[in-house]
Amino acid sequence: MKPLHFASGILSFAASAWACFLVLAPVATHAAEIERQGRLLLVSGMLDGSEIASFIDHLSSGTVRTVVLEDSFGGTAEAAGAFADAIRASGVETEVRGQCMAACAYAFLAGKTHRFGDGFQVNGLMLPVAARPTAAELAVRWRDDAHRTLADFTPGAAAAPKVIEASADGRGAHDNWQPEHGVLFTASPSLFGRIYNAFYCDGTQGRDFSKCERLPDADPFKLGVLTP
């Protein structure tokens, strides 16, 4: 029985590792940065539109195969739409390494294929929603382009749990991104492969995502959030 207890302990550790990582990891609040690595195009930081022209130029070259979104904690709806349009038009794949929240998540879903990166990091994808989705809503919400619209990601002021006021980082009340409110999909490494989980976060948990509600039967592959 000892091997079973050991395996159970490893699985429990892996399932909770994402929470520790997201609580302790620094938030990437700097402006977007772009780096070319062969056929990979790495994008990190806030999707604020400052690098969209350079991003489009790189994709227009026809030599980029995969856009890697790395530790991006959000951005503006306008920038997210511009990044997503460029990704969709070029037909490239997308990949997440680390955290990808709100605006980043919208751009991520525009990829021809969209997946979590390999390695030992804990990956997290936060898809903004105005309210806790039902099982029926989850089944279709992100399955195809018809449901992946900016309207889904920018809930109106009446539906949003709170209004984002103008702040020192330049974000105004017109930016309805709720980076800590939505459905969080995570992948944690373990000795037995990656363990996937899904959670609903209502925003009151702040940066402690371990307080989010676990969603049963929310396989990101079956829901169309991740592709094989």
Secondary structure of the chain in HEC code, one letter for each residue: CHHHHHHHHHHHHHHHHHHHHHHHCCCCCCECEEEEECCEEEEECEECCCCHHHHHHHHHCCCCCEEEEEEECCECHHHHHHHHHHHHHHCCEEEEEEEEECHHHHHHCCCCCEEECCCCCCEEEEEECCCCCCHHHHHHHCCCCCCCCHHHHCCCCCCCCCCCCCCCCCCCCCCCCCCCEEEEEEEECCCCCCEEEEEEEECCCCCCHHHCEECCCCCCCCCCCCCC
Greatest Cα pair distance, the chain, in angstroms, is 59
Mean pLDDT of the residues in the chain: 78
Q: 86 lies in a domain? A: yes
- Residue 199 forms part of a structural domain: yes
Percentage of the chain exceeding pLDDT 90: 46
Q: Is the pLDDT of residue 174 over 90?
A: no
Is 70 a domain residue?
yes
Split at pLDDT 50, 70, 90, the class of 177 is low
pTM: 0.79
> What is the end-to-end Cα distance of the chain in Å, rounded?
34
Asked whether residue 93 is assigned to any structural domain, the reply reads yes
- The lowest-confidence range among 79-93, 109-123, 134-148 is 134-148
pLDDT of residue 191: 85
Higher-pLDDT residue of 32, 151: 32
180-224 tens-digit pLDDT: 789 999 999 888 888 999 999 988 887 788 899 999 889 999 999
Is the CB of residue 221 less than 8 Å from the CB of residue 227? yes
pLDDT digits (tens, 9 = 90+) for 84-105: 999 999 999 999 999 999 889 9
| Nearest alpha carbon to residue 121 among 226, 18, 7 | 18
Tokens 């990656």 appear where?
A: 194
Please tell me the least confidently modeled range out of 50-54, 133-137, 141-145: 141-145
| CB-neighbour burial class of residue 98 (10 A; exposed 0-12, middle 13-18, buried 19+) | buried
Which structural domain range is residue 37 located in?
Answer: 2-214
- Residue pointed to by tokens 């900016």: 150
**Is 178 part of a structural domain of the chain?**
yes
Q: What is the CATH number of the domain that holds 84?
A: 3.90.226
Does residue 226 form part of some domain? no
The answer to whether residue 227 sits within a structural domain is no
Q: Is the pLDDT of residue 165 over 70?
A: no
